[in-house]
A and B are shown apart, each in its own frame.
Chain A
Amino acid sequence: MLNPIEIEALKLSGFIAIIAVSISIIPGVIIAWIISRKNGLFASLLNMIVYLPLVLPPVVIGYLLLLLFSNNGILGNFLLETFNISVNFSWKGAAIAASVVSFPLLVRSIKLGFDTFDYKIEEAAHINGASKIDCFFSIILPQILPSIITGTTLAFARCLAEFGATITFVSNIPGETQTLPLALYSATQIPGTEESAIRLVIISIILAFVSVAIAEILAKRTNKRILGNKNNG
């Protein structure tokens, strides 16, 4: 049904999305906590920076990543010198682009969890002998798990959809950086591959639908397990 290039693109998309989300979960939770709990200039600035990828043209992000991660860029140079890693024109770069673009969705969801968490419960845990860090892991994180799940799944779906930043940053190389949307783009550029384009479009729609549905179901279930029926949503 699918030709090898399409299968390759599908696999690569999934792989890159998983890597991208995995590397952003922990920073996502920490940043969400900071912008939810802290006031002050640093937190406000952080808040703005985190949401930038949501409103900037993806091509701008791709170009900025290119500047940062090129072998002469600050981060690119650092990675090359310290770990001998180059992310240019590789799936690693594609994962970075996907994680940057999807980061605001992840943080927004988790921040909502922190915002609506009842901190009186944290006080109770504290008085019951739990230190601040203990409270965070034993009470707050499990309580906001539904938000983390929603954020993760949304971010995953956004990674699958990533196009502009990726093509600008790491180009469109089959088997390395050519994810589904990029394969679709190629298919629309070459005469005679219309069928392939249609197949990729259908796969994209199904993938998007399934991930959003999974996000909904998981969040509802966890919510029910943690908070009972009275607090869905």
Chain B
Amino acid sequence: MASSNLIKYETILGDFYSNINFDFSDSNIIAITGLSGSGKSTIAKVICGLIKPKNGYIKINDKILYSSRDKINIPPHQRNIGMVFQESRLFSHMSVQNNLLYGQRRNTVFDQKKFDKIINILGIKSILNRKIFNLSGGEAQRVSIGRALLTEPKILILDEPLTGLDSQRQNKILKIIKDINKNLNIPILFISHSLEEIIFIAAKIIIIENGKVATQGPIDQIISYKKLSSFNKSNTIYSLIKGVIHSHDKTNSNTIINVNGIKLITKPISDKINSGQIIKLFSKDISIATKMPKNISINNILETKITKIKISKKNGIAEIFLALGKQQIISEITLFSLQKLKLKTNLKVYALIKAISLVGK
């Protein structure tokens, strides 16, 4: 499935100028992220044909949908794009089943097997005859995804589909989106401002800043502190790292997670060995010692190296960047501690991690 997709356009909406250019040719999940107002939702609307760019070129699955030079502008209903919005946008005068079939009837020949497959992935078999206004937020969003998938779209665009759902439902839908990608082999553009969601779901990430593509690439390489901090609106600094479950220690009642060969001990979790995990480490929960401390309650003491020191005189703190294999974690200490310990770049130190929270997998 190496079809080529190219999105390249310029738009001027009011006084907001946007110039977007990216392409992809695999059917992975690609996350598009950025602050609100950065122009990330505009990308979805341009691809769907709801916004006509000033100039540019949109190609999805080798088909040109828009080209200012060749004066091509295929109307939205002929583009065959699957789109799920923040609000489910279901048709309240129809049943769930008729909502699902609305797009299908207009795009493809009905295929019972395909229909069954999709409603099974989404887990909506039992609600087919329900009225739209009797659905919960999570159910409505799953129906909305189903409606889009049944049109057999060339690409599925999800624009902040989890907003307004509680975390349990968010996780359920995230898993479903992964399943869709795996089973239906369809490229997915996942637009979100939440890094946790993105790390959980996406293989590639595109970061939009002020209407332009700031960075793009495989997610492991892109998720660094610099980019992180620009989305972190609160003042709490944290790092997100990826690991896999190494083993479950039943005697001591904990689970060991392997992060690039380094083992972290956490509370017991029920997931299978080798399943991927995303770990959130608050910088305030990481202390630094220059010697291996003894007689201490902290379990996770890692030998590491300082890669960078960032001083904020205003707040009286220093952010110490520590290497964790290819990944990076940040410790927040006071300037007083910084001087006391005489910390500097490339110094070998011990990171004392007080708390670990698992935010996804």
Contact = CB atoms under 8 A, between A and B. Distances in A.
A131 B93 contact: no
Interface in A91-127: 120-121, 123-127
- Categorize the interface residue count of chain A: 20 to 34
A56 B292 CA distance: 93
Contacts of A229: 133
Contacts, number: 68
Given A129-B151, A230-B133, A121 B77 contact: no
Interface string B68-92: 0000000111111101010101111
Contacts of B91: 121, 124-125, 139, 143
B102 A123 contact: no
Contacts of A134: 77, 106
Q: Is the interface of A mostly helix, strand, loop or mixed?
A: helix
B133 A126 contact: no
B300 interface: no
B39 interface: no
B52 interface: no
Contacts of A138: 102
A228 B75 CA distance: 32
A128 interface: yes
B134 to A, nearest CB: 7
A130 interface: yes
A73 interface: no
Nearest to A143: B93
Contacts of B151: 128-129
Interface centre among A125, A129, A226, A229 (most CB of B within 10 A): A129
A147 to B, nearest CB: 13
7 contacts: A121-B91, A124-B83, A127-B50, A128-B151, A226-B92, A226-B93, A229-B133
Interface of A: 120-121, 123-131, 134, 138-139, 142-143, 145, 225-230
Given A226-B92, A226-B93, 19 more contacts: A120-B87, A120-B89, A123-B50, A123-B89, A124-B83, A124-B90, A126-B50, A126-B76, A127-B48, A127-B76, A127-B79, A128-B102, A128-B147, A129-B77, A129-B103, A143-B92, A143-B93, A145-B93, A228-B132
